[in-house]
Amino acid sequence: MNLIGIVGTNAPTSTNRQLLQYMQRHFKNQATITIQEIADFPAFDEPEDHRAPVGIAELSAAIAAADGVIIATPEYDHSIPAALKSLLEWLSYTDRPLIDKPVLVVGASYGALGTSRAQGHLRQILDAPELKARLMPGAEFLLAHSQQAFTADGDLAKPEDAAALDEYVAQFLEFVEITKQLLKGRSVQTQQHKQFAWDK
Ligand SMILES: Cc1cc2nc3c(=O)[nH]c(=O)nc-3n(C[C@H](O)[C@H](O)[C@H](O)COP(=O)(O)O)c2cc1C
């Protein structure tokens, strides 16, 4: 199982990056998680040729080849950071690699609600026809007070957080397999979505 873990921020220090690093280590026997930074990507600017900058095109190819994607989002002003929104705009405007791709949303924030509002927005965005990710329904993982959530070794400090994440990821690994089965033979619909354009 090959997964891409997107750090949903361009901040140099990030508890969401720590969360993905923990997941990469902790779940290494179940999945290979490749961590993807977004800090060097330019802000989306709607180029007329619909071509992504090199780094984003490489990420699109990696997503297309992966079994699934994990997005770890902070919460800024009750939504996702602009850098993450910009990446999603690039993906939706260019190669659209998230169409029918199983996606797991996680999030860590300093507040008590652990990105619940940002995750709600992110799910809404990922459901846009040009993104059309296959989001795992019916469960969420919210890491509240994230500055206190990790030990010095980078493990989750609270056993209940670790147990909740174990359960969440186990569900996702099953969801990836189920989604693959469900989508067999659905390439026509995928092509329609890939060809959709706002500027026709
Ligand atoms: C501009 C700004 C807005 C923020 N808004 C929220 C918010 O609405 N809710 C929240 O829980 N934390 C908020 N925070 C605190 C973030 O949770 C924290 O800065 C951080 O982004 C958590 O993710 P990170 O450690 O990966 O950077 C905000 C921080 C900034 C800089």
- Amino acid at the residue 120: G
Distance CA 91, CA 129 (A): 12
In this structure, are residues 143 and 15 in contact, taking their beta carbons and an 8 Å threshold? yes
* pLDDT at residue number 162: 98
Residue nearest to atom 4 of ligand 1 (CA): 76
Distance CA 46, CA 42 (A): 11
CA 31 to chain centre: 15
Coil, strand, or helix at residue 104?
A: strand
Q: Please choose from 109, 113, 147, 150 the residue to mutate so as to test ligand 1's pocket, defined by most ligand atoms within 8 A of CB.
A: 109
Q: Please choose from 20, 78, 80, 110 the residue to mutate so as to test ligand 1's pocket, defined by most ligand atoms within 8 A of CB.
A: 110
Residue pointed to by tokens 């990469």: 24
Q: Which helix (H) or strand (E) holds 36?
A: strand 32-36
Q: Tell which atom from ligand 1 comes closest to the C-alpha of 16.
A: 26
% of the chain residues with pLDDT over 70? 96
Which of 98, 99, 103 lies closest to 87, judged by CA? Answer: 98
Q: Which residues line ligand 1 (CB under 6 A)?
A: 9, 11, 14-16, 74-78, 108-111, 113, 146
Average pLDDT, the chain: 95
* pLDDT at residue number 143: 98
Q: How confident is the model at residue 199 (pLDDT cuts 50, 70, 90)?
A: confident
Q: Which tokens hold the place of 96?
A: 């659209």
pLDDT tens across 148-173, in order?
999 999 999 999 999 999 999 999 99
pLDDT tens across 109-146, in order?
999 999 999 999 999 999 999 999 999 999 999 999 99
